[in-house]
Amino acid sequence: MYEYGVDFDAVTAIDMHAHIEIDCHGHQAYDDELVAATTAYFKMDAGPPADVDAVADYYRRANIAAVVFTIDAQSGMGHPPNSIEDLVAGAARNNDVLIPFGSVDPWQGRHAVRRVREQVRDHGVKGFKFHPSFQAFEPNDRVFYPIYEAIAEAGVPALFHTGQTGLGSGLPGGHGIKLRYSDPMLLDDVAADFPELTIVMAHPAVPWVDAQIAVAAHKANVYVDLSGWSPKYFPPQLVRAIGRQLRTKVLFGTDFPYIKLDRWRRDFDTLDIDPAVLPLVYKENALRVLGIGSGA
């Protein structure tokens, strides 16, 4: 059972977006073809994926806390997920730096709702991760609303991938992954219908960045994490919004292991951002999303 052990006053930042891609049994989150294509897309060095303990050591050395998760996309992709229970147990071993989010296969209906409640009650997850394109679902379809109701009842946030994805990029048919499911306007419906649910739109949502900014500015319960892109490639309208209408709505995130901490922070430092906004981006907005302390 996970319980917070992070000293939120001491850590310098909270990375809201880090993947755990392998469990203690050696099972990977993605099939081999997808792993190879994603590695090539992000120009990563090929090598074994980091397990939860190695990821914890990486963040501990940086004095940064990290939200960690995997994605249950068995129905959408036909590949069983790496163990969520193993991920949470690993986060519990390393609760000084790691914060586990759960995941459910949205196509599993009532079983998915039970899994939400089980992962919160029995394992202590602090939020849930969805990837509509990878999981092959339209998030505003009301068939999935009972899942959001259970998450809202638990009082934890839901983080949704938005925009294009490196998963499947360059493969024939994109490995069957459809980008339209990750249009942030679909989440505008969810945010309106569940005002009590905190929603995080993950990544600059290219090619729908203007829509993403509009939704986050309009809906008090919607935030944006800045992961998955080097900040030097952020669209200019997003850079402006970080310092203006979204200053209390944007969250530091890397998309580890695809974007590393040093690269993200180095490139973010080159942006024309008001220094007063930096504590909000790096930690204070995340504390509010997670319902912790003075940030809540």
User: In this structure, is residue 293 part of a structural domain?
Assistant: no
User: In this structure, is residue 248 part of a structural domain?
Assistant: yes
CATH of residue 230? 3.20.20.140
User: In which band, very low, low, confident or very high, does the pLDDT at 48 lie, cut at 50, 70 and 90?
Assistant: low
Contact present, 130 and 122 (Cβ < 8 Å): no
Using CA atoms in the order 125, 128, 134, 139, what is the torsion angle rounded to 10 degrees?
Answer: 160
Spatial neighbors of 61 by CB under 8 A, at least 6 apart, are none
Rounded to 5 degrees, φ, ψ at 64 are -130, 135
pLDDT single digits (tens) 98-152: 999 999 999 999 999 999 999 999 999 999 999 999 999 999 999 999 999 999 9
Q: What is the pLDDT of residue 46?
A: 60
User: In this structure, is residue 270 part of a structural domain?
Assistant: yes
Give me the percent of the chain exceeding a pLDDT of 90: 85
Q: Is residue 32 over pLDDT 90?
A: no
Q: What is the pLDDT of residue 200?
A: 99
What is the spatial distance between Cα 246 and Cα 24, in angstroms, rounded to a whole number?
A: 39
User: In which band, very low, low, confident or very high, does the pLDDT at 223 lie, cut at 50, 70 and 90?
Assistant: very high
Tell which residue, 240, 187, 243, has the closest CA to residue 215.
187
Q: What is the pLDDT of residue 196?
A: 98
> What would you measure as the largest C-alpha separation in the chain, in angstroms?
48
Q: What is the pLDDT of residue 173?
A: 95
User: In this structure, is residue 60 part of a structural domain?
Assistant: yes
Parent domain of 254: 11-288
User: In this structure, is residue 244 part of a structural domain?
Assistant: yes
pLDDT single digits (tens) 57-103: 999 999 999 999 999 999 999 988 899 999 999 999 999 999 999 99
What is the spatial distance between Cα 203 and Cα 226, in angstroms, rounded to a whole number?
A: 5
**pTM of the shown model:** 0.95
Q: What is the pLDDT of residue 295?
A: 53
pLDDT single digits (tens) 224-270: 999 999 999 999 999 999 999 999 999 999 999 999 999 999 999 99
User: In this structure, is residue 210 part of a structural domain?
Assistant: yes
Element (H, E) at 218: helix 209-218
What is the spatial distance between Cα 156 and Cα 194, in angstroms, rounded to a whole number?
A: 13
What is the spatial distance between Cα 104 and Cα 81, in angstroms, rounded to a whole number?
A: 10
Q: What is the count of structural domains for the chain? A: 1
User: In which band, very low, low, confident or very high, does the pLDDT at 25 lie, cut at 50, 70 and 90?
Assistant: confident
pLDDT (average), residues 155-163: 98
User: In this structure, is residue 70 part of a structural domain?
Assistant: yes
> DSSP secondary-structure letter at 265?
H
Sign of CA dihedral 50, 54, 59, 62: negative
User: In this structure, is residue 102 part of a structural domain?
Assistant: yes
**Strands 158-161 vs 199-202: parallel, antiparallel or unpaired:** parallel
What is the spatial distance between Cα 143 and Cα 78, in angstroms, rounded to a whole number?
A: 21
What is the spatial distance between Cα 259 and Cα 270, in angstroms, rounded to a whole number?
A: 16
